[in-house]
Structure 1
Amino acid sequence: MKLARRTFLAAASAAALLAQPLVADAQSLPRNMRMVIGSTSTGGDTYQNSAIVADALSEKLGINIKVDAVGATEAFKALARDRRGTTIMVFHDQSYLANLYGVTGYGDPFEEFVVGPTLAINPGNAYLVPADSPYHSMEDILAAAEAGTRVRVAIQPGGVSEIGFSALKNAARLRAPGSEENIVPVNTGSQSDKNQAMWDDLADVINGSIQANEQFTQLPADDAKAMRFVWITARPETLEQAPEAGMGGTSRDDMLKYASPKTSVTLDGETDFTFDKEFFLLFNKDMDPEAMAAIDTALSEIYADGTVETRQKEAFFIPDYLPAEKARAHLREKRDTYEKVISEISGKS
């Protein structure tokens, strides 16, 4: 009995020692933190994912974290002002894509802030056509451009919505130089604006998402609002982690038909262009490094536990934790790839 008690106490002491670094690091964090996000919507994917992560971090660290949907410009300003570390930010690839596209109010996040760990992927970035469109595939669209037909693509310029459009123009250029001039943008605003452009016959193709547009792909073909997917930009490895049932009436296997390699939009003539919309943390450059490390350590333990991953998958996110250092290298590499695509077709759109 005494031996068993000693073994139990030794195990408990070891567990306490393992827990000490996180507890100690967490002391450098403020008791109340503000998590600003690059969106003004409390119903969109940025808010949904941020709320899941904020809840998990609050519980793990024993602090209060409030998600504040202030939009990209205000979020960057708030983060830049707060050197104390009471403000952190969650955003996605828009943060560096908008900078590459030269959108006002977007600096280089890798220079102006500390890019932290990645959190999740929204695998839903997609392109769609009307149900009665003559285009049944991306091959049809590229062939039409090569034959001299103007293909109008509705996008929200300057970021996630535009990067697939840039990739499409680049693929047209590689296929038949000059044909990229026939891939033309219809610059709109929100997803509802892009949808309306299609319904008003102002666009032949629209940027959309699985989450926002899948419902329209289930309508009868003769419905004026019916759509069809032609391209999902996520990597197949990402989509394969989605629930088998997929979303609505579109299964995971259905989604994979619209993604690389079954649907090919070339990047360089040899490999396919892919794009995962990834969410990640950003910190003020003057924030206490120990506080940043405490958040990163907490996230590593949260994702190892698996609970947050279950919640993310239920909301059709793909869990995507990378510790800060690996995340920065990964996102920089991703940024550099897309910078090449944008530079190839710059001035031609």
Structure 2
Amino acid sequence: MKTMTTHLKKLALAVAVAGTASASMSSFAAENCPIPENVRVVIGSTSTGGDTYQNSSLVTDYLSKHLDINMKVDAVGAIPAFRALERSPNGNTIMIFHDMAYLGNLYDVNGYGNVFEKFKIGPTIAINPGNAYLVPKDSPYQSIGEIIDAAGNGEEIKVAIQPGGVSEIGFSALKNAVKREYPGKEKNVVAVNTGSQADKNQLLFNDYADVINGSVQANEQYTRLPKSDQKAMRFVWLTARNETIQQANPEGMGETTREDLLEYVTPNASVPMTDDKNFTFDKEFFFVYNKQMDQDIVKCIDKALKEVYAKGEIQKRQKELFFIPNYMPSSEAGKHLEDKMTEYKDIINNIQS
């Protein structure tokens, strides 16, 4: 009996020690990564089929597994997402969005404040390299350079865009290029403002637009059609940097290879921005946080994402979905994105003056 009592005492002591060690480990984890166990990830889109949701879901899945917490993407749209973020200083709600976060403010879109002043900027995670401009396959314009020259020589060029962001920034750059090359002729580049990609496509089908903003993902299928088809299109310009496209998988998208896509970026397709620089635009996705969110949570997410990307698996998945992996920690991402904003602000101001 005495022996059994001794064993029981030893067992109780071992359980107590294990419990203390477990509590200590939990306390250490909480101290170093005080992120809530349940995190809502709002995105600046209401679509669950678009690139924002697709990319956010992928990254969130990897991040939640790495941190062993529950994270769920909620496609609420930009303005509701910003409002939800403002109400969540404790990290229960974080946001993933793209350059529209600051472009909306530059274009005076209702509800968009200065994201760099109102929020904390988190890490970048990926680039969608597919922002594109297309013409009908039977268009007389063979290149973006010919379109610039046509506007400079008095032809009206109607460009279908969705105003106020990623869709419009290329249009602004095009108009700016005409102004630089042919001062006073930029008025010949005319925006046809519309909504969805389907709306922009329809304007091209019906000859109400000469050029449309689209994407490699959404419009590549139309570039395979024969010239006689009313819906047949071809690319004339991708706004992404040459280095960005070079990182895509060799097979590219659909039947358009990476080598094919490189024909539509600088220097093969050039839209002058300054005397010595062509315009480029990479659509980048990044985290946005409440201004008051604990800096330790910021560091925690940075560290976790760094470790996720170090493994290399997420990059393969992103490239399969035609995203370019682009992890940049918060400490670098904020300045990088502000620099982009300043550059594009100059273009917008130039065509408005």
For the residue of structure 2 that corresponds to 1:267, the secondary structure is strand
Q: State which drifts further: 77-86 or 231-240.
A: 77-86
Following TM superposition, by how much is the alpha carbon of 1:269 offset from its aligned partner in structure 2, in angstroms? 2.5
Find the counterpart in structure 1 of residue 93 from structure 2: 87
Please give the alpha-carbon distance, in whole angstroms, between the structure 2 residues aligned to 1:242 and 1:35.
Answer: 27
Residues 38-94 of structure 1 show CA distances to partners (whole Å, capped at 9, x for unaligned) of 000001000000001110111000100000000001101100111221000000000
1:25·1:293 contact (CA, 8 Å) conserved in 2? Answer: no
Find the counterpart in structure 2 of residue 120 from structure 1: 126
CA pair 25-280 structure 1, distance change in 2 beyond 3 A: farther
CA pair 26-191 structure 1, distance change in 2 beyond 3 A: farther
CA pair 339-52 structure 1, distance change in 2 beyond 3 A: same
Q: State which drifts further: 123-132 or 19-28.
A: 19-28
Q: 1:339 aligns with which of 327, 331, 345?
A: 345
Question: 1:240-279 counterparts in 2 under 5 A?
Answer: 240-279=246-285
Amino acid at match of 1:33: V
Matched, 1:129 2:149: no
Amino acid at match of 2:281: F
Please give the alpha-carbon distance, in whole angstroms, between the structure 2 residues aligned to 1:57 and 1:127.
Answer: 34
Q: 2:58 aligns with which of 44, 52, 56?
A: 52
Find the counterpart in structure 1 of residue 145 from structure 2: 139
Please give the alpha-carbon distance, in whole angstroms, between the structure 2 residues aligned to 1:295 and 1:95.
Answer: 20
Residues 111-163 of structure 1 show CA distances to partners (whole Å, capped at 9, x for unaligned) of 00001100000000000000110111011101111111100000000000000
RMSD of aligned C-alpha atoms?
1.5
Q: Which entry has the higher C-alpha Rg, 1 or 2? A: 2
Find the counterpart in structure 2 of residue 68 from structure 1: 74
Amino acid at match of 1:314: E
Identity %: 59
Amino acid at match of 1:159: G
For the residue of structure 1 that corresponds to 2:49, the secondary structure is coil
Following TM superposition, by how much is the alpha carbon of 1:344 offset from its aligned partner in structure 2, in angstroms? 0.2
Following TM superposition, by how much is the alpha carbon of 1:322 offset from its aligned partner in structure 2, in angstroms? 0.3
Find the counterpart in structure 1 of residue 114 from structure 2: 108
Question: 1:279-298 counterparts in 2 under 5 A?
Answer: 279-298=285-304
Find the counterpart in structure 1 of residue 5 from structure 2: none
2:136·2:204 contact (CA, 8 Å) conserved in 1? Answer: yes
2:33·2:296 contact (CA, 8 Å) conserved in 1? Answer: no
Matched, 1:302 2:308: yes
Please give the alpha-carbon distance, in whole angstroms, between the structure 2 residues aligned to 1:187 and 1:25.
Answer: 51
For the residue of structure 1 that corresponds to 2:278, the secondary structure is coil
Following TM superposition, by how much is the alpha carbon of 1:20 offset from its aligned partner in structure 2, in angstroms? 10
Question: Which consecutive unaligned segments of at least 5 residues does structure 1 have?
Answer: 1-18
CA pair 294-154 structure 1, distance change in 2 beyond 3 A: same
TM superposition score normalised by structure 2: 0.91
Following TM superposition, by how much is the alpha carbon of 1:237 offset from its aligned partner in structure 2, in angstroms? 0.4
Amino acid at match of 2:348: I
Residues 190-215 of structure 1 show CA distances to partners (whole Å, capped at 9, x for unaligned) of 11110011111110000000000000
Please give the alpha-carbon distance, in whole angstroms, between the structure 2 residues aligned to 1:52 and 1:119.
Answer: 10
Please give the alpha-carbon distance, in whole angstroms, between the structure 1 residues aligned to 2:281 and 2:74.
Answer: 27
Residues 225-252 of structure 1 show CA distances to partners (whole Å, capped at 9, x for unaligned) of 0001000000000000000010111100
Question: Which consecutive unaligned segments of at least 5 residues does structure 2 have?
Answer: 1-24
TM superposition score normalised by structure 1: 0.92
1:22·1:294 contact (CA, 8 Å) conserved in 2? Answer: no
Following TM superposition, by how much is the alpha carbon of 1:21 offset from its aligned partner in structure 2, in angstroms? 12
CA pair 21-300 structure 1, distance change in 2 beyond 3 A: farther
- Aligned pair count reads 329
2:123·2:287 contact (CA, 8 Å) conserved in 1? Answer: yes
1:25·1:294 contact (CA, 8 Å) conserved in 2? Answer: no
Find the counterpart in structure 1 of residue 318 from structure 2: 312
Following TM superposition, by how much is the alpha carbon of 1:34 offset from its aligned partner in structure 2, in angstroms? 0.2
Following TM superposition, by how much is the alpha carbon of 1:22 offset from its aligned partner in structure 2, in angstroms? 9.3
Find the counterpart in structure 2 of residue 229 from structure 1: 235
1:235·1:276 contact (CA, 8 Å) conserved in 2? Answer: yes
Amino acid at match of 1:197: L
Q: 2:216 aligns with which of 195, 207, 210?
A: 210
Please give the alpha-carbon distance, in whole angstroms, between the structure 2 residues aligned to 1:46 and 1:289.
Answer: 25
Amino acid at match of 2:334: R
Question: 1:141-160 counterparts in 2 under 5 A?
Answer: 141-160=147-166
Q: 1:239 aligns with which of 236, 245, 256?
A: 245
Please give the alpha-carbon distance, in whole angstroms, between the structure 2 residues aligned to 1:170 and 1:308.
Answer: 38
CA pair 287-32 structure 1, distance change in 2 beyond 3 A: same
Please give the alpha-carbon distance, in whole angstroms, between the structure 2 residues aligned to 1:139 and 1:21.
Answer: 61
